[in-house]
Amino acid sequence: MFSKACEYGIKATIFIAINSSENRRVSPKEISEEIDSPQAFTAKILQALVRNNIVKSVRGAYGGFEIEKDKIATTKLSQIVYAIDGDGIYKGCGLGLHTCDENHPCPVHDKFKVIRDELKHMLENTSLEQLALDIKSGVAFLKV
């Protein structure tokens, strides 16, 4: 469904959000330990998230990654997915036709579109805050 990079990116962003809500910056090392991901690869993904203005990085001593507090509620899952995997999952044809086109549909188009749109809707309506709360309250987990 999502690429590994995207999975790591989502989990990393949630972990950063949790810590930012408590005014703590976190390092790629902490992040990769908490989300059980390869450190250097995770660092690369974090760079992409920074470039896409989803998380903020602060270099140098006492630096790390953080998310501005007001962004925790407004940032949606869809933005993270888009930043890393692009929009193929929302727009692409389920059978790999060059474009998904109502006027030239593949045989699964009608049925596939329903699910794809629902996924899109879900991603666009799920905020970082919601996800972070479930981790904080211990009802959801980022690893194992």
Regarding 2 and contact with ligand FES (CB under 6 A), the answer is no
Instruction: Report which secondary-structure segment, H or E, holds 65.
Output: strand 64-66
Name the minimum Å distance from CB 85 to DNA.
8
For residue 105, with 0-12 CB atoms within 10 Å meaning exposed, 13-18 middle and 19 or more buried, which class applies?
middle
Question: Nearest approach, Cβ of 62 to a second copy (angstroms)?
Answer: 28
CB of 110 to DNA, least distance (A): 24
Near DNA in 44-63, by CB under 7 A: 44, 46-47, 50-51, 57-63
100: nearest Cα among 78, 6, 111 = 111
Contacting a second copy within 13-42 (CB under 8 A): 14
Which residues from 61-100 bind a second copy, rule CB under 8 A?
Answer: 77, 89, 92, 94-98
Phi-psi region of 23 (alpha: psi -120 to 50; beta: other; left: phi over 0): left
In the complex, the smallest distance separating the C-beta of residue 4 from DNA, rounded to whole angstroms, is 3
Options 4-12, 14-22, 110-118, 127-135: segment touching DNA (CB under 7 A): 4-12
The answer for 50, left when phi > 0, alpha when psi is -120 to 50, beta otherwise, is alpha
